[in-house]
Amino acid sequence: MVLNCKIGQLSFVYLGLPIGRNQQRLSFWNPLVMNIRKRLSAWKRKNISMCGQLVLIKHALSSLPVYFLSFFKAPTCIISIIESFFKSFFMGGSEEARKIHWINWDKVCSSKENGDLRVRRIREFNISLF
């Protein structure tokens, strides 16, 4: 207290990113998870064809975590939560009711040369940004 300054916290939000917080905690990733959940709740799945769902996952949903993932390495549990949102949306389930997944998610994420759908894998994408 020699300079008469207040003691504060280092954590703050800069350009939408939380700075000074522990990125391994789940609360750090809550804004991203809530953003994806909010976007999914706005879309009515029963009114969208399977091709439309695929386009939404590949282009709209996959682009939401890019900004966060370009600065921070996501923990495994966050990646599995995000991918479970994608799987659930594509396979027709919701947070309340689960449905049978008739196709393996690995096949959905494989390359187009193999005749698959080529959805971006979050873990590999996060690693490639570093």
Q: What is the mean pLDDT of residues 27-38?
A: 89
Asked, for residue 80, whether it belongs to a domain, the answer is: yes
Asked, for residue 59, whether it belongs to a domain, the answer is: yes
Asked, for residue 71, whether it belongs to a domain, the answer is: yes
pLDDT beyond 70 at 73 = yes
Count up the domains in the chain and report the number. Answer: 1
In contact, 43 and 56? CB cutoff 8 Å = yes
Residue with more model confidence, 86 or 1: 86
User: Mean pLDDT, the chain, as a whole number?
Assistant: 80
pLDDT of amino acid 105? 75
Find the domain containing 80 and state its range: 24-40+48-93+101-128
Asked, for residue 56, whether it belongs to a domain, the answer is: yes
Cα separation, 130 vs 69, whole angstroms: 9
In contact, 118 and 110? CB cutoff 8 Å = yes
Q: How confident is the model at residue 98 (pLDDT cuts 50, 70, 90)?
A: low
